[in-house]
Structure 1
């Protein structure tokens, strides 16, 4: 099995081996409760005290408090609660206090959400005020100076989790001191631990939360610094642990592990220095530039942590980049790990004013200070593999010949569908119902494949097709067309007779023809093989229609004709032909997921042994398949049939003798859609690998 390359260090890190050993020791040998006064408890307390003392020295805590907790989110909650309780008490005493809760526009969402939460629960009715940042992600200190006098609490971060941009804490502190504001100041130090030098007691910072799992300690353990004299209200009350500051029996395994990491930082013999980390990032950046033409870096390297890259690639979404990297076993994320599952632009990059395509398509690549030259070299090789896969799939420009694509290609945007009918042998294609959002993608694809576009047609009259026609340039050869984009004259267009005896205009695509059929005020298109000037219903493989179950199609298509819709909100990809009987031409029922559709990875070997004719099918996109760095499930060779080409291949499977089809993808989501599609179309031996490659590894 190929080893994964983990480049998502800003999300979490592996646990340092020595820290694992300390956690095991705390659970197995020093398992005592540090609040107990017997020898076993005292041994545990010694571990606790040593870890705290190390943190105090390393972070310059001085006379301030340093308590252990569950992590940064708890630390943020405690900080905000402590500050706002103090604000309410000062209000009750009639003291002048600011009305604004100021937070940086690029703060982790835990900050503004905590501010809103406690502001509401405490009934303060203060106003949340977002402090803008400039194009480099730096806080606008001039605007901070304007609002500082009205602030009750100011929240900033030491370094941003998405971009690695390091805040000008000295500049912020200067503004706070110069304006004489009585506001409290919290600094999120989660990304700073082990990457920035901190001397907390020498600053005006009131609260600083930390999280262990961002620097090789386990999840579920963190720290909170509170400046000497800063107000404090415990978030958790009970047994009085942590000197009454944070009740609950201490997470000794986590604290012991974190203590080992802190000790390694203090010794300086374990983690890479900044200069070496800078060189690692430069090598990764060079590899990205070589593999992904046009790549744009969204974070200024000279103002960011040396362990973070944030980039976008023209024409590629963050989902596509995530998928190809993941296929190559390179783990990256789309922005913050807390929000990467959401299909939305990065609010951090939006705040920096970057164009929408960069914000929506951004990838974060980050590594920890344990990275070494071998890891970086391997990552660079995988990055080149990803670039090659994207070039072969025509998703990025290339000077070399791309892999020839043939057949039917489905593209979609928010439920709307566009279809490309391609014939590699003749080098020709037709575009059906192009979407404005895909103009650049389709034009680049056509140029990459060097196709002649015989027509750009629609199922409805739509002037938006013209933008694609213009983008295609010399690749578009249709000439004069009607309102649907259909070529008007020979030799490109000719007549064929349909099953119902009607005549239709057609375009030749290699051995097949695409015929135009009137469907009320709309058009439908039939793709099949003509026979002596006739297009028999039995030879019509596909019908394209705005009304997916248009009655007119039943008279000219056969029982094996697949309907390809212009909208596919339910991810059905294609549907069966409606019955010739009006009484039964109802909408095709949705197929729910049944247990017999799924195969557990543990049972896959037995299933394949029992069904030697079964076919393993990878439904990830072609660029993912090409970038894959691991063998198929059960060590078997797999065939690539992306979901975007499922309709075309489904027609083949349904016309041949059925045999078991086992679909798989990364997580099992896409393979289940393929399985449901084939079952719905009548293929009873379609299965999905439950959990996909992620759980089969």
Structure 2
């Protein structure tokens, strides 16, 4: 099993062993309620006070409020509520306090959504305005200077979670001071702790939220700093804990763990220095450049945290790269973890003016200050392996499916992968198809759309200098138009195109394996696979085949292993793409998998259906593609098709 290398520390971190030990000791031995007056409560109270004192020293906050929260989101909500309540009260007293809520364009979505939420609930009627950033991701101080006199509340961040770009906080403070802005100021310091020097007492910052799980403390614990004399309204009232600032019995295990992290920061020796982190980042950056020569940095390293890299590889989607890294046991992400399930471009990179295609394809690699040289050595080696896997992946042969926006296109390759015919190539994928064919020295002999006006063939033909349209010619007098591809023949039949093995004189009807376009099912033989490109219809179907239900299709790893053991003829099939397989071959509890990429499954399915039906168990990284594979086979009438639910990620 591949040892996991975790490079997504901006999303969350492992728990420092000393922090885990402190949390466990607190749960076992110092479990008293710090509000209780007996000895157990007093011991808990002493721990609470000691951790707060350590936080003040680390944050440079001898004055003001430092309270423990459940995390940054609660801290942000509390700061926003406090600021907006203060604005409303000042207005009621006739005090001019601005009419704008200014939020940095690259802020975490928790900030603008909190502003909109409380602005609506409190009825403050302030205008929510975005403060743009420049191409380097730093706030436009010239525009801030124009807007600052009208600002009631300004929200920026110390360092961006996606790009690592460090804000010019001194510049922002200077603008607010020079313009005599009435604005209160919140700075999201989630990515700053342990990575940037902090001296909050010496700043103009009114509110600064922190989150423990970004720096080796458990999830569910955070801090909020509130400057002395800054307005404050509790988000939660009740028992009066935290001096009446934040009610609810304190999370003593989380506080103890955070205290251990703060203690390590104070003592030194546990975490790498800024210079040491820069050296680690430089090594990772060099490995990435070597592995992916076309790589483009999406944020200037000179202005970024020493722990964050954000990049794109032209022609490769972020999902492809994430799958590739995951296959090699390297955990990275595409932008913010909070929006990873969404496939839209990054709002952070969009705000910086990064082209949409590059923004949507961005990958973030981040590590924490606990990193050591052995980890960086291993990470660099794996990155280079990923680069080799991407370039060494074998050329496809036979039939390859392409998908975009619910429609399917098809590439037909000769056995050597040197010649290709494109049928209904998706318009959006034309540049990618062209780049892949050129990289493989594969000649495009024909490209056409089965439905006029689709446009994909025109675009691909222009890129590959091939005249789009059906170029087939009769093979003999009276014979239908056809194109030879190896020992196969692609023949036109009205609005359909038939592919099969030629007998030398033509294409016998019984030899047709695939049909593209529209053809009546009654004219097809049962062994034929119909390949459709239209949205809303199955991409692959078979004449007369009844789609089978999905009941029982989903197996956990143990059930899949048991099925494979009970059926000696059963086949375990890895449907990940070739670079992923090259980066790390799939195994299920010691059993190796045959590799058939999902994009080539339609071609292989015909062979499985023609022979004796054998049990098929599909597997991929997460279970999504394997479920599609099992569904495809069941849709073609193959009853013994299953997949490993949760994929290799949960297989153990």
Whether 2:540 is the aligned partner of 1:574: answer yes
Residue in structure 1 matched with residue 373 of structure 2 by the alignment: 373
Give the 3 Å change call, closer, same or farther, for CA 592–158 of structure 1 in structure 2. Answer: farther
Q: Indicate the residue corresponding to 1:554 in structure 2.
A: 522
TM-superposed CA distance for 1:466, in Å, is: 3.3
Q: Does 1:429 align with 2:420?
A: yes
Partners of 2:549 and 2:536 lie apart in 1 by 16
| Matching of residue 487 in structure 1 with residue 468 in structure 2 | no
**Counterpart among 614, 621, 626 of residue 577 in structure 2:** 621
Deviation (angstroms), 1:272: 0.1
TM-score between both structures, scaled by the size of structure 1 = 0.91
Contact 2:428 2:456 in 1 (8 A): no
Which of the numbers 513, 516, 519 marks the counterpart of 2:489?
513
Structure 1 pair 147–592 and aligned structure 2 pair: CA distance change class (3 A): farther
Aligned counterpart, 1:500: none
Deviation track 1:450-494 (CA, whole Å, cap 9, x = no partner) reads 233221122023465233223224xx5xxxx7xx712254xxx52
Does residue 531 in structure 1 map to residue 523 in structure 2?
Answer: no
**Counterpart pick for 2:461 among 448, 451, 469:** 469
Contact 2:99 2:150 in 1 (8 A): yes
CA displacement at 1:235 relative to structure 2: 0.4
Tell me how far apart the structure 2 counterparts of residues 205 and 448 of structure 1 sit (CA, whole Å): 53
After superposition, give the CA deviation of every residue in 1:190-226 in whole Å (9 maximum; x if it has no partner): 0000011111111111000000000000000000000
Contact kept? 2:547, 2:637, Cα under 8 Å: no
2:392 counterpart residue number: 392
Secondary structure of the corresponding residue to residue 514 of structure 1: strand
Q: How many residues align?
A: 651
Measure, in 2, the Cα distance between the counterparts of 1:83 and 1:122.
11
Q: Deviations over 1:235-287 (max 9, x none)?
A: 01111110011101111110000000001101112100011110111111111
Structure 2 CA distance, aligned partners of 1:636 and 1:603? 14
Q: Distance in 2 between matches of 1:159 and 1:90?
A: 31
Any conservation in 1 of the 2:448–2:457 contact (CA below 8 Å)?
yes
Query: Residues of 2 paired with 1:77 and 1:609: CA distance?
Result: 54
Shift of 1:70: 0.1
Structure 2: distance between partners of 1:32 and 1:62: 27
The question of 1:564 aligning with 2:540 is answered: no
How much has 1:496 moved relative to structure 2? Answer: 9.2
1:542 alignment partner in structure 2: 514
Query: Which residue is equivalent to 2:559?
Result: 603
Q: Say which SS state the counterpart of residue 432 (structure 2) adopts.
A: helix
Root-mean-square deviation (CA, aligned residues, Å) is 1.7
| Equivalent position SS for 1:338 | helix
**Could you say which residue in structure 2 is the equivalent of 1:37?**
37
Shift of residue 426, structure 1, vs aligned partner: 7.8
Q: Deviations over 1:596-634 (max 9, x none)?
A: 112221233322221111111011111111111x65112
For residue 550 of structure 2, the aligned residue among 593, 602, 619 is 593
SS of match in other structure, 1:348: helix
Question: In the superposition, relative to structure 1, how do residues 427 and 197 fare at CA in structure 2: closer, same or farther (>3 Å)?
Answer: closer
Q: How does 1:181-260 map to 2 (within 5 A)?
A: 181-260=181-260
Give the Å deviation of 1:531. 3.1
CA–CA separation in structure 2 for the residues paired with 1:97 and 1:222: 30
Structure 1 residues 198 and 569, CA gap change in structure 2 (3 angstroms):
farther
| Residues 439-448 or 640-649, more deviating | 439-448
2:423/2:457 contact within 8 Å kept: no
Instruction: Work out whether residues 310 and 362 of structure 2, in 8 Å CA contact, stay in contact via their aligned partners in 1.
Output: yes
User: In structure 2, what is the Cα distance between the partners aligned to 1:652 and 1:561?
Assistant: 11
State the TM-score, normalizing by the size of structure 2: 0.97
Q: Distance in 1 between matches of 2:265 and 2:40?
A: 28
8 A Cα contact 1:496 1:534, kept in partner: no
4+ long deviations beyond 4 Å: 588-592
Choose 631-640 or 287-296, whichever is displaced more: 631-640
**Corresponding residue for residue 400 of structure 2:** 409
Whether contact under 8 Å (2:396, 2:413) holds in the other structure is yes
In the alignment, the residues of structure 1 paired with residue 316 and residue 492 of structure 2 have an alpha-carbon distance, to the nearest angstrom, of 33
For the 8 Å contact 1:296–1:311, the answer to whether it is kept is: yes
The Cα offsets for residues 428-448 of structure 1, whole Å up to 9 and x where unpaired, read as 221111222222222222223
The answer for the alignment partner of 1:9 in structure 2 is 9
**Alignment-derived partner of residue 687 in structure 1:** 642
Cα shift at 1:559: 0.7
Task: State the distance in 2 between where 1:495 and 1:653 align.
Answer: 34
Q: Which residue number corresponds to residue 398 of structure 1?
A: none
Does the residue aligned with 1:535 lie in a helix, a strand or coil?
A: coil
Retained in 2: the 8 A contact 1:496–1:506?
Answer: no
Q: Counterparts of 1:426 and 1:114 in 2: how far apart (Å)?
A: 54
Tell me by how many angstroms 1:425 deviates.
3.8
Distance 1:349 1:289 in 2: 20
Are the equivalent residues in 1 in contact too, given 2:158–2:169 (CA < 8 A)?
yes
Cα deviation, residue 333, structure 1 = 0.4
